[in-house]
Amino acid sequence: MSFELEATVLERDVSVSLEVGPGETIAVLGPNGSGKSTVLDVIAGLLRPDRGHARLDARRLFDVGGTGRGHWLPPHARGVSMLAQDALLFPHLSVRDNVAFGPRSRGRSRAEAGARAAEWLERVDAAELADRRPAQLSGGQAQRIAVARALAADPALLLLDEPMAALDVSVAPALRRTLRTVLAGRSTIIVTHDVLDAFTLADRVVVLDAGRVVDSGPTAAVLERPRTPFAAGLTGVNLLTGVAEGAAVVLTSDGHRLAVRPVERLRPGSAVAVSLRPAAVSAAREQPPGASGRTTVPGRVTDVEPRGDTVRVRAGTLAADVSPRDAAELDLAPGVTVWFSFAADDATAYPL
């Protein structure tokens, strides 16, 4: 099963193209309002783009805004199931009838649909809930049933719109595990805010910002070598951009010279991104003595955020994790000047 999409929705300023390979799971990441849900609605057939086309295997889902009369397959004929943040189980049907809804709608007999529902309830570990009403389920159980319902319809493409976002942190891991099993070998697009979802479920990620695809590639590559502040923010790494001055020196846009460890050859004068874990950055109130291979950068503290056993000190584009004791000793507070320093080995540089 393979999927191709190219669509523009003028009203929401969204214009994207993406592909899903056979059996591939891609994660669509992006800040709120970046157009992720719009893209899913277009694929499911719930929103008509101004122009664009989509193909799922041999079937044309839509082709609109061109010169011809256009082509638009209604949602029920697409073979695209969607699972939203809320489970949205039909409140008037039992759990079993909810799951059997898809097969029934596609013309299976009551008995066949029932058997299929039982099978899927088994696969999401919810067989014992079959006779319950949706109002009698917890959020995690309901979402589990919703997964079974979406898959029982036998979709050629599955869309997941932040399926874990409304769940308690204590039940999300179990659902994530279930998803990892049932999504294997199934063409899926998952919209998420959670980098853990991307790492555990997706083969590839697509980063959306302001309605455009700004980055895409294998999950690890995109998240470990981010090109956008959003992607860097997901994993919490510092992202600095600048131009290469030498093989291992980068001049940042705010005028600092960094010693870096290039993971690809940097052409002098070309745009470069540098990623740096906050834990690898140390902070001091006085300028530390220069050491070879270490970069020292001054900054004015903008934010001090306690995070359990560390304190994240942010000054403009750079952040450092220091111990609470050091933070207290250094008397770090917004407005004071700090000196950040880090080793070149920790500053991974790659061309933008």
Q: Contact residues for other proteins (CB under 8 A)? A: 44-46, 74-82, 84, 86, 88, 90-93, 101-102, 105-106, 133, 135, 149-150, 153, 159
Q: Which C-beta is closer to other proteins: that of 158 or that of 258?
A: 158
234 Rama class: left (phi>0) / alpha (psi -120 to 50) / beta: alpha
Residue 72 C-beta: closest distance to other proteins, Å: 13
Choice between 44 and 279, CB closer to other proteins: 44
Q: Which is nearer to other proteins, 150 or 175 (CB)?
A: 150
Least Å from the CB of residue 124 to other proteins: 16
Smallest separation, CB 137 to other proteins (Å): 13
- We find the least distance from the C-beta atom of residue 57 to other proteins, in angstroms, to be 16
Nearer to other proteins, 93 or 214 (CB): 93
Q: Which is nearer to other proteins, 77 or 263 (CB)?
A: 77
CB of 42 to other proteins, least distance (A): 13
